[in-house]
Amino acid sequence: MGGVGLVAKLRAVLRVKDFRKLWLSMSLSSFGDWLGLLAITATATSLVEGFAAANFALGGVLLFRLLPAIVLGPLAGAFADRFDRRKTMVITDIIRFALFASIPLVDNLIWLFVAQFLIEAFSLFWIPAKDAAVPNMLRKDQLEPANQLSLVTTYGLTPVLAAIVFAVLTSMGSELMRLIPGVDEVDLALFLNALTFLVAAFVIWNLPSISGRRAAGAIKAQESFFGSLKKGFSFAGHTPLVRGLVVGITGAFAAAGVIIATGQAYASALGGGDAAYGLLFGAVFIGLGLGIAIGPSVARDLARERIFGVAIVGAGGMVLLMSLTFTLWIALLLVVFMGFFAGIAYLAGFTLLGTEVEDEIRGRTFAIVQSLVRAALILSLAVVPFGVGLIGRHELDLGVVAVPVTGERVMLLVAGLMALGVGVLAYRQMDDGRPVPLLADVVTALRRDTTARRRLAGGGVLIAFEGGEGAGKSTQVRRLQEWLTSEGLVSRATFEPGATPSGAGIRSIVLDRAHTGIASRSEALLYAADRAQHVHDVLRPALDAGEVVITDRFVDSSLAYQGAGRTIPLDDVRMLSRWATEGLEPDLTVLLDLPPEEGLSRARGRAVADRLESESLEFHQRVRQTFRALAEAAPDRYLVLDARQTPEEIAAAIRVRVAELLSGLPLQTLPQPSAAGARPASPDGHAGHDGAHGRHHPHAQTGATPQLHP
């Protein structure tokens, strides 16, 4: 997914009205949280005198932000699964409003600690309720871009905005005192922070879709509160996917705690001071933001279960290299890469929790993860400084050179090894015996078969037609091929399944109604086998020869029919198809969109229905929804047309788009402009044709630039 695809996905997510409102309220609360953190830390240091006392006060505030999670986190998750999530979020926002507003009114360090503890305690009830509610608002394929939007907002935009606002407020201290007697700039920041929670409560109260009443009611009726809590821990411990996520995220954050705790000593060892520490700190967030924002586009075809473990291993590798480098700019680069991998892992982990964990237990799962994350951070922050001090600073004399051995570098080495270990363990827990070896999967995911690469290789172009039953794909394939031939281009019409001799046998199995006992995964493997042979025998040779290849159905049909239709995880089908095609991707996909009721009526009116045409209306509705979602996610590669238009209107629109695509490409041309085209494709079915291919012209001229006239 490129930049255009990401923007399109984000726009699609924000078009969901309830999610848009929730995201706005979350953004406001996040802004308030960061502003509140700045104001509270400033308040804590202002209420005491002396350098040591100020640092103790600051440490106390941070400690009281983390401690509640250990005690209350799992309880809050069970609460979120048993009670109305909307009411939970509204009540906790109102309480947080009151607590933040009370801090400047009481103006006491002890109350500051107490209020901070209570604020974090109530936040623990808000977070799992929100995390568990979001997946109910969106389709599964929309959850990752929604998480990207939320995480970039929380860790990228709102901290910067809060810092700017706080800086502006503190610079206006004397003016504010004159305007509002008795209220200084820090007090105003706290009041403003409190107000953000009140506004968020109002917004969330008007979002009944996040209540989760049915799931909560079912849990209440089946088990006690402590029974549901026990079930949450049991689920996390006995489900390989969740166990891998918990191990990976907890271990990664423990390693992150080591990096935080050694940051200043590491900066000093590199010959820098506070400025170097600030740069290293900022580099972490730059990398984290990049990983969350563009990471999925880099590894878009890898299954999230694999991305998670691989990314943690990548982050661990960067930390290991950090422990060995002695140059500041190299360390900064490694920190950015470490943050990048961590951002990918964080996004993948929370997306998997949202998509793969059932609604009735999702709140408890999120809460357990959040609690373990904070516990790991506290443990690292508490233990690592002692380790650094005990190891001290030494030199290892190797004869040629003396290598410094210092506590912070040893701790970073341990953190890197820890991250590598938990990454491998998480991968082994979550991989689930996938048929494609990891290295081959990563290589084929990174080796994109783009138009630019094929232009260099020979100029061939692949156009795929997709759509539900009866959409008229075969008619449009034939019309497009005839037009291309009339324009003097070598074009080839093909189809799936059945375009090769071995594929014909597979076609007879997958479409014959007599084969009703085929398992869903067996069916997906059969289509992948047909596609692999199709690519090897037909598509690759034609594309390498510079032809325009038009295929009736390709990978998207498997994602829609075997993925959504048969309810196989789309990542599994995508991985299988990518492996079968060696990463081949259409330059243009034409989606003929038609309501399944009308399409089935057309298809069944022509002939006896095949296995797929005989499926339920709900099956075909899932297929259509997936086709539309795929097109929505990558609008630069899709042409979506209403199949209820006349064939002439559809053909004209296709010619315009194809002319734009082919303009200026060095495609293979016919020796004579009037040469006849290949035989037309057969009537429409699920990738069903009579097996005819376009005529191949082995002696055609190459290198000409087509001048197309739609």
DSSP string, 191-203: HHHHHHHHHHHHH
Are 492 and 542 within 8 A, CB to CB? yes
Q: What is the largest CA-CA distance in the chain?
A: 92
Say what the alpha-carbon torsion angle 545, 549, 553, 556 is, to the nearest 10 degrees: 70
If we measure between CA atoms, which residue out of 459, 427, 68 comes closest to residue 247? 427
pLDDT at 252 > cutoff 60: yes
Q: Mean pLDDT for the chain?
A: 76
CA–CA distance from 66 to each of 59, 76, 243 (Å)?
11, 15, 23
If we measure between CA atoms, which residue out of 554, 659, 448 comes closest to residue 2? 448
Q: Does 468 show up as a binding residue in the annotation?
A: yes
Rounded-to-integer distance, Cα 442 and Cα 444, Å: 6
If we measure between CA atoms, which residue out of 160, 162, 138 comes closest to residue 23? 138
589-599 per-position pLDDT tens digit: 999 999 988 88
Q: Does 470 show up as a binding residue in the annotation?
A: yes
Rounded-to-integer distance, Cα 649 and Cα 647, Å: 6
Q: Strand, coil or helix: what is 695?
A: coil
Q: Does 474 show up as a binding residue in the annotation?
A: yes
The DSSP letter of residue 209 is G
Could you tell me whether strands 638-642 and 588-593 are parallel, antiparallel, or unpaired per DSSP bridges? parallel
Residue 441's pLDDT band (boundaries 50, 70, 90)? low
What local confidence, expressed as pLDDT, does residue 530 receive? 93
This prediction's pTM: 0.55
Residue 690's pLDDT band (boundaries 50, 70, 90)? very low
Quick one: tokens of 116?
């901070």
Quick one: tokens of 215?
């799931």
Are 119 and 100 within 8 A, CB to CB? yes
Could you tell me whether strands 638-642 and 667-669 are parallel, antiparallel, or unpaired per DSSP bridges? unpaired
Q: What is the mean pLDDT of residues 407-430?
A: 85
326-335 per-position pLDDT tens digit: 888 898 899 8
What local confidence, expressed as pLDDT, does residue 699 receive? 32
Residue 405's pLDDT band (boundaries 50, 70, 90)? confident
Rounded-to-integer distance, Cα 40 and Cα 22, Å: 26
Residue reference for tokens 């071995």: 502
Q: Does 282 show up as a binding residue in the annotation?
A: no
125 burial class (0-12, 13-18, 19+ CB within 10 angstroms)? buried
pLDDT at 269 > cutoff 70: yes
Percent share of the chain, pLDDT over 70 = 70
Quick one: tokens of 580?
């079968």
Instruction: Catalogue all structural domains in the chain, each as residue range(s) with its CATH number.
Output: 1-135+180-207 (1.20.1250), 223-433 (1.20.1250.20), 457-704 (3.40.50.300)
Q: What is the mean pLDDT of residues 290-305?
A: 74
Weakest mean pLDDT among 272-276, 329-333, 470-474: 272-276
Q: Output the DSSP codes for 232-287.
A: HHHHHHH-HHHHHHHHHHHHHHHHHHHHHHHHHHHHHHTT--HHHHHHHHHHHHHH
Weakest mean pLDDT among 236-250, 425-439, 614-628: 425-439
Rounded-to-integer distance, Cα 118 and Cα 469, Å: 58
Neighbours of 352 (CB within 10 A): 23
Rounded-to-integer distance, Cα 118 and Cα 99, Å: 8
Quick one: tokens of 73?
């986190």
Residue 114's pLDDT band (boundaries 50, 70, 90)? confident
CA–CA distance from 155 to each of 343, 371, 381, 392, 535 (Å)?
10, 19, 21, 34, 43
pLDDT at 275 > cutoff 80: no
pLDDT at 378 > cutoff 80: no
At residue 64, what are phi and psi to the nearest 5 degrees? Answer: -70, -15
Rounded-to-integer distance, Cα 463 and Cα 492, Å: 10
Q: Which residues pair with 30 in a beta bridge?
A: none
SS3 assignment for 71-110: HHHHHHHHHHHHCCHHHHHHHHHHHHHHHHHHHHHHCCHH
Rounded-to-integer distance, Cα 313 and Cα 431, Å: 14
Q: What is the mean pLDDT of residues 620-628?
A: 91
If we measure between CA atoms, which residue out of 707, 697, 686 comes closest to residue 492? 697
pLDDT at 697 > cutoff 70: no
Q: What is the mean pLDDT of residues 414-429?
A: 86
Q: Does 471 show up as a binding residue in the annotation?
A: yes
Q: Strand, coil or helix: what is 532?
A: helix
Residue 1's pLDDT band (boundaries 50, 70, 90)? very low
If we measure between CA atoms, which residue out of 113, 77, 37, 98 comes closest to residue 232? 77
The DSSP letter of residue 694 is P
Rounded-to-integer distance, Cα 491 and Cα 696, Å: 8
638 burial class (0-12, 13-18, 19+ CB within 10 angstroms)? buried
**Under 8 Å CB-to-CB from 318, ≥6 apart: which residues?**
334, 335, 337, 338, 341, 416
Integer distance in angstroms from the first to the last C-alpha of the chain? 29
Q: Strand, coil or helix: what is 395?
A: strand
CA angle 580, 582, 584 (to 5 degrees): 105
Q: Does 472 show up as a binding residue in the annotation?
A: yes
Q: What is the mean pLDDT of residues 243-248?
A: 80
**Phi-psi sector, 472: left (phi>0), alpha (psi -120 to 50), beta:** left
pLDDT at 619 > cutoff 80: yes
Q: Name the more confident of 8 and 708.
A: 8
Residue 535 C-alpha from the chain's centroid: 29
Helices assigned H by DSSP within 487-539: 501-510, 520-534
Q: What is the mean pLDDT of residues 610-628?
A: 84
113 burial class (0-12, 13-18, 19+ CB within 10 angstroms)? middle
Q: What is the mean pLDDT of residues 102-127?
A: 82
Q: Does 227 show up as a binding residue in the annotation?
A: no
Q: What is the mean pLDDT of residues 22-50?
A: 75
What local confidence, expressed as pLDDT, does residue 679 receive? 38
What local confidence, expressed as pLDDT, does residue 692 receive? 35
Rounded-to-integer distance, Cα 677 and Cα 300, Å: 37
